[in-house]
Amino acid sequence: MIEQDFRDAMAGVCAPVTIVTATQHGTPYGATVSAFTSLSLRPAMVSVALDRSSDVLARILATGRFGVNVLGHDQDEQARTFARRVPDRFAASGTPWGYDHGLPRLTGAPGWLVCELGSVVEGGDHLLLLGDVAHVRTAEAAPLVYGRRTFGTHSAFAR
């Protein structure tokens, strides 16, 4: 009972939508993540929560680094693709991907962060990763947000 009530309550919280990526032995991995936030400005740090069963989590723990693609308002299909368990999410996304600092970067994403893994905090069925931001790229675009179990754009950015 509390699990469903918790899900319903959290559905009312809008969150940014990101695709977190890693690479191991030349193979790219990625997952849609809405549990992402900035943590510190000095030094620049972010936090990302990943399900313990996530294939990208294992690669981040093994390599000690990850990328964060902050998605734009027109990238909801990419978010859906990387939220599913499909064999090759990169090919299935139908979107050009490049590499930046050795990590998969979504073409057209308005925000891109390269992070070195700092601390890892256990939290139930997820791990909270604290990342030190090593590189940042930005572009002008309205962000994609997730709330009420759907993707959308904050009305202030939709003008």
Quick check: is 8 in a domain? no
Quick check: is 2 in a domain? no
Q: Is 1's pLDDT higher than 80?
A: no
Residues 121-139, mean pLDDT to the nearest whole number: 97
* Residue written as token pair 């990850």: 66
pLDDT given at position 157: 67
pLDDT given at position 159: 52
Alpha-carbon distance 77 to 74, whole Å?
8
Quick check: is 128 in a domain? yes
Quick check: is 5 in a domain? no
Residues 138-159, mean pLDDT to the nearest whole number: 85
CATH of the domain at 24: 2.30.110.10
Quick check: is 144 in a domain? yes
Quick check: is 11 in a domain? no
Question: Tell me: the pLDDT tens digits for 12-69?
Answer: 899 999 999 999 999 999 999 999 999 999 999 999 999 999 999 999 999 999 999 9
Domain encompassing residue 117: 17-153
Residues 111-138, mean pLDDT to the nearest whole number: 97
Give the pLDDT band of residue 156 (cuts 50, 70, 90).
Answer: confident
pLDDT given at position 136: 98
Question: Cβ distance 50 to 36 under 8 Å?
Answer: no
80 C-beta neighbours (distance < 10 Å), count:
13
Quick check: is 9 in a domain? no
Nearest partner of 56 among 36, 38, 41, 39, judged by Cα? 36
In the chain, the number of structural domains is: 1
Quick check: is 3 in a domain? no
Question: Tell me: the pLDDT tens digits for 53-108?
Answer: 999 999 999 999 999 999 999 999 999 999 998 889 999 988 889 999 999 999 99
* Residue written as token pair 């620049």: 44
